[in-house]
A and B are shown apart, each in its own frame.
Chain A
Amino acid sequence: MEYILETNKLRKEYPEFVLDNIDWKVPKGYVMGLIGPNGAGKTTTIKLIMNLIASDGGQVRVFGLDNIQNEIHIKNKIGYVGEEQYFYDHQSARWTGEFVSHFYDQWDKERYQSLLEQFDLPPKKRIKKFSKGMKVKLSLAIALSHDPEIIMLDEPTSGLDPIIRREVIDFLKDFTEENNKTVVLSSHITDDISRIADYITYMIDGRIVMTDSKDALLSNWKKIHFTPESLDKSIIDKLEQVETHMFGSSGLTRHFPAIQHALEPGLASGDIKVESVGLDDILIALVKGE
């Protein structure tokens, strides 16, 4: 597999937080979701990749190039939407497009105009009169109008209402499918990531705790509902978050294919039930397991 972005022992220290030796690889042409609770280090990681903050160790390679030595070249090929949207907000979207077009090697004016239309963004209106959702869309229009190879989105839907959030995520889904772009999407809203990601990375307390394809994650992680006598103790001991309630017990496994065979008698008799879990269930299990 070809990797378009790699970090090697990336480190950043703050007085109350340490991003600790991040080794991370993003495969080319896929959507990588970066999930973690607030303060996990998602934004710090993305800012380090974008060279918006200085690292305290380690290396970032984008397109095989060092991100500090080749900052301008790399930024030319990355469409970035940050957590906060910064613009000259006394200017219009049209002016902003014209302004930023000077800095990119490839700026597709027609695509920018068409994205403004698609997002219902008035080109002549001052940006300070834009809502938060409109500013996110404007950021996205800028990020996509210079034909980036990677689209880096740091909590883009944070603070948006569900309708705009869905609109943005659906647009991104269609766009990435049509254009075969690599996308890094960080969010604590697992539903957003679940909708478009091919790969998922979980980050907790400044560390990457798991990276896998979404399909593998969702097929490996299952919730098992069982009666105590229906399941071998050795399997119960391997379950996480085991809870006992009046109808029986339940627990999470992260190795479902490995225990699937042992569950078959219980499944046939109805004493065991297997439930699919969501990315947020996995996140909660990982956070509690830390």
Chain B
Amino acid sequence: MKKFSLWYLLYPGFLVAFGIPMFNYDRLTGPDPLDLSFATYLAPMIWLVLGAMWAHEQMESKSNGYNFLRILPIEPALIVKAKFVLVLIAVAIYAGGCCAAFALVSTSPDYLIPSCAYVIVHGSICLATAALLYVGIFRYGFSRFGKYILIAWVALLISPIPIRIFILKPRGISDAEIMQFFRGPYWIMGTAFCLAAYYFLMKLAARKLKEKYT
């Protein structure tokens, strides 16, 4: 919880550091005070949740936390649920914070909805990724699998840069065009799919932890 609380404290800092200067800049230049590119800058920050998750699991591993929990009268499913809820809260707070900030600035749903959708989709993918990584941890143990969390975290955190440079820019795809996708119904379907995957992976992770325990 402590590791995650650090994340809860840090995310408003990211919002301020990355968001506020852009809002001010675009107030002067854009058609809506909320520029669509804000979301593309802010959304990847959600991947920092995986960093918090890594730190949390490293601490569990270091102090043999699962062995300690194992002797207590507590179902493995409850341990897994608590961890998944923590990740969900962290993502929800960040995504919610972004959307609230967008809503404060924006004057048009045409800009607000795709911006929020973009962050929510990022959050949903982040949740599904975190769930997959948890399944890996409970299946293989943190000592063997922990490095993959770091790899996934760093890769996802920096992914917008190569995507922008090597995929979007050569094809001439602008932020506005990307955002067009987030005006349609597909992002809702994608989010629903990721949340469903999150739920089922939570069940799978609980089963893996129980298997690991015995």
Contacts and interface: CB of A to CB of B under 8 A. Distances in A.
Given A53-B214, A86-B63, A88-B63, A103 B68 contact: no
A75 B65 CA distance: 17
Contact of B71 (A73, A82, A89): A82
A105 B75 CA distance: 14
Nearest to A91: B63
A131 B122 CA distance: 46
A87 B68 contact: yes
Given A51-B214, A52-B213, A53-B214, A89 B63 contact: yes
A60 B75 CA distance: 19
Interface string B70-113: 11111100000000000000000000000000000000000000
Nearest to B68: A86
A75 B72 contact: yes
Contacts of A54: 214
B143 interface: no
Contacts of A71: 73
Contacts, number: 43
Contacts of A90: 59, 63
Nearest to A68: B214
Chain A binding surface SS class: loop
B117 to A, nearest CB: 38
B82 to A, nearest CB: 11
A119 B151 CA distance: 45
B29 interface: no
Contacts of A80: 71
A75 B71 contact: yes
A196 B79 CA distance: 37
Nearest to A76: B73
A72 interface: yes
Contacts of A53: 214
**A-B pairs with lowest CB-CB distance, top 6:** A75-B73, A54-B214, A86-B68, A86-B67, A86-B64, A76-B73
6 contacts: A52-B71, A52-B214, A72-B73, A73-B73, A90-B59, A105-B73
